[in-house]
Structure 1
Amino acid sequence: MSTPPSPTTSAPHLSPAVEHVLRAHNPTQELISELRSMAIQQPKLVKATRHKVHPPRPDAPPPPQGDPPAPESITSWKMLEHLYRQSPCPFPTLARGLFTTWTSEEDVPEPLVSKRKDKPEVWKREEEGGQWKIVARGYDKFFNVGEVGWTEWTALAMNTKGPYELTLKSNGCLILVAALTPSRLLVTSKHSLGTRTRKEAPADGSAVGEATSEAEVIDEDDNTSGHPGAPPQVSHAERGEDWLFTHLKQVGKTEADLAKVLWERNVTAVAELCDDSFEEHVLPIPKELTGLVLHGLVPNSPSFDSLPAREVADFAKQWGFKPTEIVTLDSIPAVLDFCREGAKKGEWEGVGVEGWVVRCRVAQPSENKVAAEEAQAADPIDALTEEVANLVIADPGDQPVQKDKKGKMTKTPPYPPGAPFFFKVKFEEPYLMYREWRELTKTLLPVLDGIEVVGHPETVGRSRAKGSKKDPIKVGDRFKKRPETRVYLNWVINEMIRNPNLFRHYGRNLGIIEVRDKFLKWASTPGVGKEVWDNEVGKSTAKAAGELDGQNGDKVKKVMDWKKTIIVPIAIPGCGKTSVAVALKELYDIGHTQSDNVAASKTAPQFLRNIAKLLETNTIVFADRNNHLEQHRKQIREVAKACKVGPVRLVALNWSQHSVPMSTTHRLMSTRLIARGDNHQSLRAKKDDVRFHEEILWKFITSTEPLNEDEVDEVIDMDPTDGFEDNIRRAVKELAPVIGWDIPSEEKLKDAIEAARNYKVDLRKEDQKPSKKEKTQKIRYYALLAEVDLRTFLDDLLAEGTAVDPGLTKFWTHLTTKDRVNKRPHVTLVHEADPENEDKAAFWADCEKIANSASPPLYEFTVSHVITDGRVMSLVLSPDSLCMRPQEGDNALEKPTGAGWGADKMKRLHITVGTGSSGIGNVEGGKLVAKWRDGKSNDVHVLKLDPEPKIVGTLKGFAY
């Protein structure tokens, strides 16, 4: 087994975080310490989940004498996926799938990962007296051709060396097999140990997510609802374990046999779970490949390495795994040529394939230069690339190529010379089209509940399922570009109406192939669907042929030669878009036009004319409007298309609301509106009447339509939690490399920030007045508006690998699939329906005063339990945890006192997560908590939280 070289001198291709780990005296200890530090300080980037190790299988023999005991828990480390593309990467490892254990001869407990207020040196001291060990490890994140700068074909020819081992890209989900002890195996999915639900081996462990991630969701969607022929509550890891033992039995091997080999070699077997009876993917899996397809053996070390593909294939045959196909080539032109032929067919030896994973090594900077030049002369890379580009795709779910801080795409792989290097090649046909149909079908599944589809009258007027969503489905433009998909769209809508049972398991990734095959049969049958298919698809044949002749490549080159740029903020009031615009104008003398400066009652037409006018004399124009609706962005896109001095690109400054809970966004923006006071053309917050501007904010937050990447040419992610100065600094830092600006000096930047701070509006419109409806709305109750995204919060708590009562997970699945999770979670304090008495009147008055305050306190509390009775789900507050932190003064925590804060009230405080149907009111959440507290119910499913997560909130009045 080869070992990748460790850097002895500074290596510019390595990220500083990775290089720091590899230079450490104990790289494993340093790696986990760095990950733990990030999980504490930046929980959005790194998440640590501790899983309790499952007991041995019921039929497992006793461990041999002298075997070390199995660890009681294992920690899984998960990084925010899209940041792997950054150069340099912020993480100390690029591993996807990393599981560790902690051992201590002094019985020092494993250091926790949680939100901490103490200093890093305290965390470091906790790590003394014990050692971390990598028990299972997956591949480093690798990318598709063209997805990042270092996987462009020309960069690959320059920076890699053969042999190039091409292994068939399996159509399934990742499974890791490692040694827990010399006689016991550990089987995991990418980030989890899975669940065990067999009656003979009940789950008794739990997973505690000690760092949460609000920016992304779990990579895999376990099939927890079951299907014919499969037991309920089956995870990917558990199904993978079942297949593993089947394979071992077929070759006369035991768990202990394999564990001994993996333990001694300290490697993880990386396999793909391919089983259409469990979960279908895009392409059907041949019967002979059903099971665990082994495609890697990875050493359990901080630096990435992988055994040669031929050795992996031999290992697969020896231990009963399904081997993966291997093709060995000697150069990048040979790989290109092979992919060109394979992509045209979309299959390998008669079987439809998704693509290939290519394994090679990083070349010395000078080692490949001559070879690359010779290859270019003999069989030009650029010419081959242009031909293959129309047959090979970047993953539609992946981000576009990222740029480094200098504005140049990073061409060098993030590894030292000699290190293993993987990249993948995905075939466009039929894979991309089939994948598109699958995603479109999932988008349309609410049709089964009677929901309408915009533009499809056949879906209107049907009866709706009780409690179903009311909003019509809008099919995105990305599903309307391909003629085949346009035909499929009309067919699948009508098929859902005619034959709903065909789609009954589609949401659980079952029936995908059956639906597609039925459509293809319809589309090829004369007199049924063939004429429709030929008519629609035939229109695009000439155009498609033109693109394959190179017209599409010319278009790409032309679009990159931008003449003008429109900066398009996507925001809500209070994000700071105008401050950013003023600072940019001060620094770079850009054009700047504000929608709020248009005096007409209908501002859009004049605002768009102003943008067009500024484009005549400015290279860069800042279109200062919230642009939170897709319609707004479309209007600006039309201006760009109509510009005669183009092409004009759109660069979005996206203040995405998904990074923090809606209630947090609302509080931050409300505070900023109050702080700016009268310095706005129309939306002027008043300290003595906060309710009006707060309602306007809610309208913006709830009506915002998320930005699709195909709406603009570049997206820069802004952070709504950034303060005034950080907002401007982020915009300058991120825009400069995209547009080609120089980074300003600190002095100039401070001057621009000061100019933005001193900006005063020129136009003052009449105060906005509340509508008649808003005037008559009466406060019905006061509550703490909890700053928590319930979907993220409970997805973590009820994730696979936890010993959660199935009643909880079943009802949570119901709430999420039926969209019954409360969007504005709150803790009701006093309601108009409460019995009238002196204390209620006094408490109501106190709440009213606090809610209308311009600087209300922030309340903090912890959640002790999640409970449900199958009708309603509630989060139970820990009675003694509630306290408040004034926003002014010394900010010390205080216990609320006075009328309404008694012990009996504290015991009943809760958040209603959601109800099973529209006929069940949120008030049932409180009744459930009272019944459970009083011990009057035996049918309540309960999850005790330890540690108890903390939530903050502000006191608000609610009219609904």
Structure 2
Amino acid sequence: MADYSTPFKPQDPDEVNKLMELLNHTQAGKRKSDTGFFCKKKTYKVEGSPIPVDSWKFLDHEYKKKALPTFARGLFTCKNPTTGDWEIVSRGYDKFFNIDEVQKTKWGWIEDNTKAPYELTLKENGCIIFISGLPDDTLLVCSKHSLGPGSEPDKSHAVFGEKWVDRQLEKLGKSRAEFARALREANVTAVAELCDDAFEEHILPYEGDRAGLYLHGVNLRLPKFATYSTLEVKKFAQEWGFKVIDSFDKPDVRSLRDFLEEAAETGSWDGKDVEGFVIRCKARDRPGGEWHDWFFKYKFEEPYLMYRLWRECTKSMISGGEPKIRKHKAITTRYLKYMENHGIIKLRNAFLEHMGQKGSDIIKEEAEEDTESEGAGGRTSQIKDNVVLASIATLGCGKTTVAHALHELFGWGHVQNDNIQGKRGKPRAFADAISHALRKHPVVFADRNNHQFREREQLIKDVSNLNRKTTFVAIHYVHPEDLMHEIENATVARVFSRGDNHQTIQAASQSKQSVEGIMKGFLHRFQGLDHERAPDSGFSTAINLNPQADSRENLEIVVSELKRHYPNLIPELPTPEDYDRAITAALNYAPSRRTASHDAPQSSQPKDKVEYAVSSMETPSAVGPSEAPKRQPKQSVQNHKRKQVDYFGIFLPAQEVYDAVNSAFEAQPERIREFWKELNENDRVQKTFHVTLCHNSNKPKHPGIWKKYADLLGSKDGDPSTILGRGEVELHSMAWDKRVMAVKVLLSDEWECANEAPHVTIGTANPSIKPFESNKMLEEWSGGSSEIFSLELQGVKVEGEVKSVPRGG
């Protein structure tokens, strides 16, 4: 029998103080090797209270780690003014994952390491709100990672949630202080979903009596996750006027799985469309381990994904853009023709009424049509060209070996990103080279790690713009979190076994520490395929591979899966001898640095002037990679005259800057995110980030600053590649207009800056806008211009390298 007694446990000051000491330690600079994680802090002033509150947020991929000090997604702390100890004042759930998303949400693990009862609650479709009390009985209402008014006060999730709390309390005749005190005495945070179409439409409708705050959790404010049962949550909801979420129990994993898979067939439950379910149970980390509260989710793909597609298409049409329809094409085209001046959900419901069908009926019809069409040579079986195989991998997985082998077997194109010279415009040049290769080959392997969402988004967008009928297939080297150490060992060993015979890393020439550092960086940044979200929803098919398996095994999987999905691409499967021959040729291939191979571009000119080298392997009968003629590198002419310095700057770790900016936008309303989204979609976010300390043009006005850095460079023998020092940079706040976005930064006294507003330029709207416009924009912002938007990034600190940049460098 389950224990439904209300849990209670007070905070341990020593435990919380140690947690705060550890989290604050990460704010001293970039991600520390002794902690292994990075946590962003932002401090808020709370209206009506003198007590400041800190919000803590890990980067999304960090939650898959095994060694975080807390896995709370939504953590707010303050210092008790009476005791001087730190307190957790608001706590969200531990980050929980979808079925099969991580190792711990695979059915086998769930069977072995969880126990009943399995409590199911509907996954409501709104914005998460946390409600708790401060030490002075001030009611604290937060959204996922923020609180209080934002750039648009009427659009702030926390502010709108607070209005709903006040409405509930007024009906009950209770005060905010009473509610805050009750929460604090129980040492809990009320976790609710703000569902109100008048505030923000999502996918499922909430209006009239359905709108409001749905209470789905009451969490103890502790570092380790502990929460109320659904029965206790319902009691709390009724006591304080929240809407109650439907819930029920399943006695074992088999009945749980049967129910979820049956409900997923229609994407509905109890006669209404739902997004899915959250399952609550007890779990242990290992056999014999301690049982603890644990959640996972089961999200329905359809018709929810179809509704989300319709929403995005509607918004795109309203803004004057061209909707991208990669799925449900026939019904979505009819929907767009039906479009009238309605809200997104009203429009969808009116259209379904017009069609006389439910969403689940449409999905069932489509499935039947797909089955019939595939039986008679359907859509995928018709595909015979314009296919791009995009690897999603890290270094040493064997993707290039597989790509070479595919070329050996079928004569398909192979474009290697590492063969494209120059840094400016390289992503676009990569797409151009793929497009060029598609004119000569039915299939092209896009050989790049593509290990992050933004790389895949750029690839799909740019190639689609050049070839609208392209089919994208993900060659996904799966990196389970619990196998990362084994994958690291296997891939490092593989790279060292190749010596200098590797396109990216010359393991025989570079130091072991250098090679391992590069490879760990890729592993740390790896973002696996997520077919439910953009851009990965743009892949027609995904072929999953094991990065520890040998390339011969993975090659056969790729070929057999392509044959299954696209039979016209491979009329006849290769023989075992064919596979062996192809792998042998691929493994014997010795790359020539910066030479064209299998359709890779050779020029470092701007993208509009790129000339494509003619590959020696134009047809299946052409010679293989191992027989390719070696090209002699051009003789370089040394220029003994030292180049003049253009500017001095602090060069920052690009991924940390990008993650900090992206995280700040995640919690904002769509209107605030518009320009950031535009920069990403148009590939206008800079690939590198730096703070200019002093530019050559500043020399007349700031001779002392220029001399300081020139003397420092001189003391290093004048070598422009020399690191002059390391500089800590605090990313303070973002500002942007319709042309340029920049982050204002704070520097230590050691590094003087000639600019009135030291900053990092994040991106510009188009190539005609130069980065130096950031200076003017920041000046106007400081002058109080109402045309400029801003967001705070207080507390995020990164460490960079101080260097000089020569003219033309």
> Structure 2 length normalisation: TM-score?
0.60
CA distance change for structure 1 residues 547 and 863 in 2, over 3 Å: closer, same or farther? Answer: same
AA of the residue aligned to 2:548: I
Contact conserved, 1:5 with 1:416, CA < 8 A, in 2?
no
Q: How does 1:272-283 map to 2 (within 5 A)?
A: 272-283=193-204
Q: Are the equivalent residues in 2 in contact too, given 1:49–1:76 (CA < 8 A)?
A: yes
2:39 corresponds in structure 1 to: 47
What is the rounded CA distance, in whole Å, between the counterparts of 1:513 and 1:723 in structure 2?
Answer: 53
Would the alpha carbon gap of residues 334 and 488 (structure 1) be closer, same or farther in structure 2, given more than 3 Å must change?
same
Distance 1:787 1:345, change over 3 A: same
Deviation at 1:314, TM superposition (A): 1.4
1:726 maps to what in 2?
Answer: 517
Separation in structure 1 between the aligned mates of residue 784 and residue 277 of structure 2, nearest angstrom: 60
- Letter of the aligned partner of 1:80 in structure 2? L
The whole-number CA distance in structure 2 between the counterparts of 1:83 and 1:45 is 7
Residue type of the alignment partner of 1:42: R
Residue 514 of structure 1: how far off its partner (Å): 3.6
Question: In the alignment, does 2:269 pair up with 1:348?
Answer: yes
Deviation at 1:352, TM superposition (A): 2.1
Alpha-carbon shift at residue 351 of structure 1 (Å): 2.9
Q: 1:803-882 alignment to 2 at 5 Å? A: 817=678, 823=686, 827=692, 855-858=721-724, 881=749
Among candidates 438, 449, 467, match of residue 311 of structure 2: 438
Shift of 1:912: 6.0
1:283/1:958 CA distance change after superposition, 3 Å = farther
Q: Which amino acid aligns with 2:99?
A: V
Separation in 2, partners of 1:425, 1:337: 12
| Corresponding position: 1:256 with 2:180 | no
Question: Partner of 1:711: helix, strand, or coil?
Answer: strand
Equivalent residue number for residue 101 of structure 1: 78
Shift of 1:189: 1.3
Change (3 A) 1:709 1:45: farther
Of 296, 309, 318, 2:217 maps to: 296
Give the structure 1 partner of residue 292 of structure 2.
Answer: 419
Alignment of 1:91 with 2:68, yes or no, is: yes
Code of the residue aligned with 1:247 in structure 2: it is Q
Deviation at 1:924, TM superposition (A): 5.4
Q: CA deviation at 1:133?
A: 1.8
Q: 1: CA distance between counterparts of 2:241 and 2:230?
A: 16
Alignment-derived partner of residue 548 in structure 2: 739
1:713 equivalent in alignment to 2:476: yes
Deviates more, 1:430-439 or 1:628-637: 628-637
SS in 2 for 1:787: strand
| Secondary structure, aligned partner of 1:361 | strand
Distance (Å, rounded) in 1 between the aligned partners of 2:261 and 2:453: 42
Structural mapping, 1:21-420, within 5 Å: 26-38=14-26, 40=28, 42=31, 45-56=37-48, 72-86=51-65, 89-103=66-80, 131-181=85-135, 183-192=137-146, 194-196=147-149, 232-285=153-206, 287-362=208-283, 416-420=289-293
Equivalent residue, structure 2, for 1:541: 368
Cα pair 2:720 2:803 within 8 Å, conserved: no
Q: Distance in 1 between matches of 2:289 and 2:441?
A: 44
Judged with a 3 Å threshold, the aligned counterparts in structure 2 of structure 1 residues 170 and 856 are, in CA distance, closer, same or farther, namely same
Partner secondary structure for residue 155 of structure 2 = coil
Deviation at 1:249, TM superposition (A): 1.2
What is the aligned length? 639
Structure 1 residues 274 and 306: alpha-carbon distance in aligned structure 2, compared to 1, 3 A threshold = same
Contact 2:116/2:281, CA 8 A, preserved across alignment = yes
Which 5+ residue runs of structure 1 have no aligned equivalent? 7-21, 57-69, 108-130, 198-223, 226-231, 364-411, 454-474, 503-510, 549-565, 572-576, 585-589, 596-606, 615-620, 644-648, 663-698, 743-758, 884-894, 896-902
State how far apart, in whole Å, the 2-side matches of 1:150 and 1:54 are. 38
Q: C-alpha displacement at 1:516, in angstroms?
A: 3.0
How far residue 297 of structure 1 moved from its aligned partner, in angstroms, is 1.4
Q: Aligned partners of 1:39, 1:642: CA distance in 2, in Å?
A: 47
Percentage of matched positions with identical amino acids: 28
Cα deviation code 1:111-154 (max 9, x no counterpart)? xxxxxxxxxxxxxxxxxxxx322211122222223333333334
Q: Contact conserved, 1:652 with 1:714, CA < 8 A, in 2?
A: no
Q: Counterparts of 1:636 and 1:314 in 2: how far apart (Å)?
A: 64
Distance change (3 Å), C-alpha of 1:133 and 1:428: same
CA contact (8 A) 1:76 1:191 kept: yes
Q: 1:914 to 1:184 in 2, by over 3 A?
A: same
Residue of structure 2 equivalent to 1:128:
none
Q: 1:782 aligns with which of 643, 646, 660?
A: 646
Structure 2 vs 1, CA of residues 640 and 35 (structure 1 numbering), >3 Å: closer, same or farther? farther
2:407 maps to: 609
CA distance in 2, matches of 1:636, 1:413: 50
Contact 2:190 2:215 in 1 (8 A): yes
Find the aligned partners of 1:147 and 1:909 in 2 and give their Cα distance: 41
Matched with 2:332 is 488
Q: Which residue of 2 aligns with 1:599?
A: none
Query: Could you say what the CA RMSD is over the residues aligned between the two structures, in angstroms?
Result: 6.5
Task: State the AA in 2 paired with 1:77.
Answer: W
One-letter amino acid of the counterpart of residue 32, structure 1: M
Q: Secondary structure at the match of 2:115?
A: strand
Post-superposition Cα deviations, 1:862-898, rounded to whole Å, max 9, x if no partner, equal 6898697968776667799574xxxxxxxxxxx8xxx
What one-letter code is carried by the residue in structure 2 that aligns with 1:55? E
Q: What displacement does 1:162 show?
A: 2.3
Once the 2 structures are TM-superposed, how far is the Cα of residue 275 of structure 1 from its aligned partner?
0.9
| Residues 46 and 53 in structure 2, CA contact (< 8 A), matched pair in contact too | no
C-alpha distance in 2 between matches for 1:33 and 1:593: 47
Judging changes above 3 Å, is the alpha-carbon distance between structure 1 residues 915 and 100 closer, same or farther for their aligned structure 2 residues? same
TM-score (norm 1): 0.52
Q: CA deviation at 1:278?
A: 0.8
Extract unaligned runs of 5+ from structure 2.
376-388, 421-426, 493-503, 506-512, 527-543, 552-588, 611-642
- Tell me which amino acid in the other structure corresponds to 1:787: F
